[in-house]
Amino acid sequence: MANDFYKTLGVNSTASPEEIAKAYRKLARKHHPDLNPDDARAKKRFQEIQTAYDTLNDPEKRKLYDQFGDNYEQFRNGKPFGTEGPDGKSAGFDFGDVFGGGAANSVDFGDFLRRQFGGGGGATSGRSRRAPARGQDVAAELEIPLRMMIDGGDYEFRLNRGDQVESIQVKIPAGISPGKKIRLRGQGTPAPKGKPGDLILTIQLQTHPFIKVVGNNLEMKVPISLPEAIQGAKVDIQTPGGEVAITVPPMSSSGKRLRIKGQGLKSDSGEVGDMIAELQIKLPERLDPTLETELEAWKKSYPSNLRDSIRW
C-alpha cells in the first residue's frame, strides 16, 4: 500500500473501532494546526490522520481498503477501472492505451462505441450526462458540556478549514450520548462543479473534573468532609433532574459508591441510566492543634498495618 492508514494512526490492522477512534483523538489533538502554528508540517500531518480515520472508521471503506489499498475508491459503486476525474471520464484506466493511443494520439471511447454500434454523433445521442462530482465528507469530533448533552440546544463551535477558521452552529438533540454522530449537510469539502460534502460530527463529553460517562450511567466524585464520613450525613448533589439529597452512611471510606436511580443518560431504546456518586473524603488544608492529641487516640482504632492485606 502506498499509504498505510493503520501505520498513520499507529494501530494494528486488527484494531477495533474503539481503538481506532481513541488513536485518532490522541493524534488529532497533538497535530491540529491550531495547536502547532509554527509547524509547517502540522497541517499536512493532520490531513493524513483525518484521511486515515475517515477510511478506517467506515466499515465499508475499511473492508475495501483492506482488499485493495488506498486506491479502494476505484472499486466502489461497481467501478473497478477507476473513479471519475474532473472531466467526468474514468480516472486510473486509460482506454487509449488499449487501442494504441497515447498523450499525442488519444482515443475517445464514447466515439469508439458509437462507431461500432451505430450511435449518432450528436452531443446527447446515446450518451447520459454524468452527475457533477460531490465534495468529500469531513469528520470531526465536537466536545460539548454535560449540561448541553442532557438538555440539548444550539451550540456554536469553530472549525479550521485550511487557512480559515469558521464559526458553525449545530443543534444538539436532548439526551445525546457520547459517540453519537450528527451530519451537517453541505458543510464538508466543496467541489469545483458539484455539491459540497457533509460535515460529520462525533459528539464527545468535555473533560469534567468530577463527572464521567460510562455507558448510560453518570459517575460523579462527591467530596465529603471527615466528620460527614465518620458520623454520616445528608448531602445535596446536582443531577440531570435537579438537586437531590443522598445519605452518607456513618463510617464511610473514600471510594464508597452510592447509586441514584434514573439520573443517568437515556439510551436509544429509551432506557435511562443511573448516577453513581463516589465519595471522596476531603481533608482540611490545615490541622487544628487541638486535634493532634485526638489523632493519637484514633490510631488505636485501626489495625496495626492497613496494608497487610495487600499481597503480590
Report pTM.
0.47
pLDDT 10s digits, 35-86: 777 777 888 888 888 888 888 888 888 888 777 776 666 655 544 444 444 4
pLDDT at 92: 40
- Over the stretch 269-281, which tens digit does the pLDDT of each residue have? 778 889 999 999 9
pLDDT at 90 over 70: no
Domain 211-286 classification at class level: mainly beta
For the ranges 25-29, 70-74, 232-236, 284-288, the lowest mean pLDDT is seen at: 70-74
The grid cell for 183 is 451530519
Superfamily of domain 138-205: Urease metallochaperone UreE, N-terminal domain (2.60.260.20)
Is the pLDDT higher at 308 or at 109?
308
Q: Which of 180-189, 237-246, 250-259 has the highest mean pLDDT?
A: 250-259
Per CATH, 1-81 and 138-205 having the same topology is answered: no
Q: Give the percent of the chain with pLDDT over 90.
A: 20
Domain at 1-81: CATH architecture: Orthogonal Bundle (1.10)
Highest mean pLDDT among 22-36, 91-105, 166-180, 236-250: 236-250
Q: What is the average pLDDT score of the chain?
A: 78
User: What are the sequence ranges of the domains in the chain?
Assistant: 1-81, 138-205, 211-286
Question: Does residue 256 surpass a pLDDT of 60?
Answer: yes
Share of the chain above pLDDT 70, in %: 78
Q: Over the stretch 93-131, which tens digit does the pLDDT of each residue have? A: 343 333 344 443 444 444 444 444 444 444 444 455 666
- Please give the pLDDT value at position 3: 65
pLDDT of residue 28: 84
Segment 174-200 shows an average pLDDT of 86
Please answer whether residues 198 and 135 qualify as being in contact, where contact means their C-beta atoms are separated by less than 8 angstroms.
no
